[in-house]
Amino acid sequence: MIARKHILWAAGAVFLLTLIANVPAALLYAAFKPQSASVQVYGLQGPWAAGQLSGITVKNRLVAQDLRWRFQPGWLLLGRASLWLEGGGQLATLQGRASASPLALRLSDFRIAGEVKRLAALANFSYLPVSGQAGAQIDSLIIKKSGIDTITGRIDLRGLAWTLAREPLPLGDFQIELLTTPEALIAKISSPSGPLEADGEARLFPDQRYETDIRVRPKPGASEMLKNYLRSLGPADSEGYQHLRQKGQLK
């Protein structure tokens, strides 16, 4: 009799969870839609636990497209609501885990790839005068109320070209290693191939100060156009490097 009662309780719990998991995503969005008219979600389909949408706009600017998600209930044991995301459409392809807790938002095992100009437009840099392909592998990104707390991963930029010249000016391929230290978030830059040699790093400090120190010079065989452009940046040091240094404060 006791075993039968337990079976009935388990069956009831499974039924209830199944019912909840199959609530339409569009119904939940209509019930809990943000008051701000600047964020709009379009084309919601399927249950909230495994659905899809056609687009998200922020202030009428498309920031996400053709996304699918799957709820991962096991992460609730760690106090996080977690979704596996994939899709992206023509803007960019993406795949990875996004999770939220009362203290932070997290991305892990996350990959993004797309055209540099389109990815820059998503970040509201619509007029970036650079073309090429970009791919990012984010091993871990933690965002708290104060800003980015932790980031590790790598960004690959391929076939970059400066587009403000009369003809597109090839720059080459670059890698950016992302890491976190107790003092700052660091982006280390290198140039594995192409006509432009670059190395250095950018740092973002906990108080939102930033500084960059990057040096560049033409590699052997670089075009005269590239050499002339680098000369316009200022005098080179004894090794032929121009130094790109900047400091500031994020708002």
Q: Judge whether 152 and 139 are in contact, CB under 8 Å.
A: yes
Structure tokens at 198: 């670059």
pLDDT tens string, the chain, 251 residues long: the values are: 555 555 555 545 544 555 455 667 777 777 777 676 678 888 888 887 888 988 888 778 887 889 998 988 877 777 888 889 999 888 789 999 999 988 899 999 999 999 998 888 777 777 888 999 999 999 999 998 888 899 999 999 999 999 887 788 999 999 999 999 999 999 999 999 999 999 999 999 988 899 999 999 999 999 999 999 899 888 999 999 999 999 999 87
Residue 15: per-residue pLDDT: 42
Residue 26: what pLDDT? 76
| pLDDT for the residue 12 | 52
pTM over 0.75: yes
- In angstroms, the CA 41 to CA 142 distance is 24
Q: List the structure tokens of 192.
A: 């594995």
Angle ∠(178,105,86) on CA atoms, nearest 5 = 80
Q: Which residues of 75-112 are buried (b: 16+ CB within 10 A; e: fewer)?
A: beeeebebbbbebbeebbebebbbbeeeeeebbbebeb
Residues found in the chain: 251
Confidence at residue 218, expressed as pLDDT on a 0 to 100 scale: 95
